[in-house]
Chains A and B, each alone.
Chain A
Amino acid sequence: DAGITQSPRHKVTETGTPVTLRCHQTENHRYMYWYRQDPGHGLRLIHYSYGVKDTDKGEVSDGYSVSRSKTEDFLLTLESATSSQTSVYFCAIRPGQGDTEAFFGQGTRLTVV
């Protein structure tokens, strides 16, 4: 799995609570991404990072924030979880220079009730 660990793997939370998902890599790759995957929509980019403390929004960033204080960790926070944020969340990493392939984690299945 290219040295990517997502935690937790499964989570059930209540509407309105904050939730943080963690992506940890051991590859020292520069680029890290958070995606969500939903039926009929495929993988959609939430946020990405191109270095420590350097992040930018993706196409579905509303209701999400991210932080990257170390190269190896990229955190995704749902500020106030809603049922529409029930999804499978994937972290991905990419080495850096040039457009090379991305490697994905195993995913976090989040259910907001």
Chain B
Amino acid sequence: QKEVEQDPGPLSVPEGAIVSLNCTYSNSAFQYFMWYRQYSRKGPELLMYTYSSGNKEDGRFTAQVDKSSKYISLFIRDSQPSDSATYLCAMSAISGTYKYIFGTGTRLKVLA
């Protein structure tokens, strides 16, 4: 079993829809949770960053962390065609070697 699991998709939604992207993990030591967006043939770019449990909102994006369930989510409201990309979750433990563990990514397509 992988340390981080993410549905690869692809996920196709109409423009304006609310999108929910999710990751589950098995390592209870993870404390830092990130969502990256990666456009085709580009490097990943950080979208959201949260520490421990709770919610964080930034514009149309909301990140949720439920440590009791070992489950994190990214919600995109009023999705746009420009949101079409692969979304990667990533996690890191609070101390140690500062290595990030990434999910495989979910490919999202927002249809105009």
Which size class do B's interface residues fall under? 20 to 34
B42 contacts across to A, CB distance below 8 A: 106-107
**Cβ-based interface call for A16 (8 A):** no
User: Which of the residues A43, A50, A56, A99 comes within 8 Å of B102, measured between beta carbons?
Assistant: A43
Determine whether the beta carbon of A1 is less than 8 Å from that of B43: yes
Q: How many A-B residue pairs have CB under 8 A?
A: 54
CA distance A35 to B105 in the complex (A): 14
By the criterion CB–CB under 8 Å, are A101 and B49 in contact?
yes
User: Which residues of A have CB within 8 Å of B64?
Assistant: none
Q: Are B8 and A40 in contact (CB under 8 A)?
A: yes
Q: Chain A residues near B103 (CB, 8 Å)?
A: 42
- A-B CB contact pairs (8 Å), 9 listed: A1-B43, A33-B100, A40-B104, A43-B88, A43-B90, A50-B98, A99-B31, A101-B34, A107-B42
Which residues of A pack against B, CB within 8 Å?
1, 31, 33, 35, 40-45, 48, 50, 56, 58, 90, 94, 99-107
